[in-house]
Homo-oligomer: A and B are copies of this chain.
Amino acid sequence: MSKTDAPLRVGIAGLGTVGVGVIKILEGQRALLQARTGRQVCISAVSARDQGRKRGVALDGYAWCDNPVDIAGRSDVDLVIELIGGSDGPALALARAALNAGKSFVTANKALIAVHGAELAELAEANGASLRFEAAVAGGIPILKALAEGLAGNVVTGLHGILNGTCNYILTRMEREGLSFGDVLKDAQRLGYAEADPTFDIDGIDTAHKTAILAALAFGTAPDMQALPTEGIRNIAPVDIDYARELGYRIKLLGVVRRTEDGIESRVHPAMVPLAAPLAKVMDAVNAVVVQADPVGQTVYEGAGAGEGPTASAVVADIVDILRGNIYPAFGVPAKRLQHLPTIPTEKHKGTYYMRLRVKDRPGVMADITAELARENVSIESMLQRGKAPDGGVYIIMTTHNTREVAISSTLKHFTQLECVLETPTMLRIEEF
A interface residues, Cβ below 8 angstroms from B? 21, 24-25, 29, 32-33, 35-38, 134, 140-142, 145-146, 148-155, 220, 278, 281, 288, 293-304, 307-310, 312-317, 319-321, 324-328, 332-334, 337
Q: Is the CB of A304 within 8 A of B309?
A: no
Q: How far is the CA of A313 from the CA of B296 in the complex (A)?
A: 6
Q: Is the CB of A295 within 8 A of B25?
A: yes
Q: List 19 interface pairs A-B (beta carbons < 8 Å), by A numbering.
A: A36-B328, A140-B297, A140-B299, A142-B146, A142-B151, A150-B314, A152-B316, A153-B312, A153-B316, A153-B319, A294-B309, A295-B312, A296-B303, A296-B309, A299-B301, A299-B302, A300-B300, A300-B302, A324-B327
Q: Is the CB of B149 within 8 A of A320?
A: yes
Q: Which of A150, A155, A297 has the most CB of B within 10 A?
A: A150
Given known pairs A36-B328, A303-B299, A334-B35, the reply for A146 and B146 (CB within 8 Å) is yes
Q: Is the CB of B328 within 8 A of A153?
A: no
| A317 contact from B36, B141, B149, B155, Cβ within 8 A | B149
Q: Is the CB of A152 within 8 A of B36?
A: yes
Q: Is the CB of A35 within 8 A of B333?
A: yes
Q: How far is the CA of A150 from the CA of B313 in the complex (A)?
A: 8
Q: How far is the CA of A326 from the CA of B344 in the complex (A)?
A: 36
Q: Which 3 pairs of residues, A with B, have the shortest CB-CB distance? A: A142-B150, A295-B309, A153-B316
| A321 contact from B36, B149, B154, B314, Cβ within 8 A | B149
Given known pairs A278-B302, A298-B304, the reply for A146 and B145 (CB within 8 Å) is yes
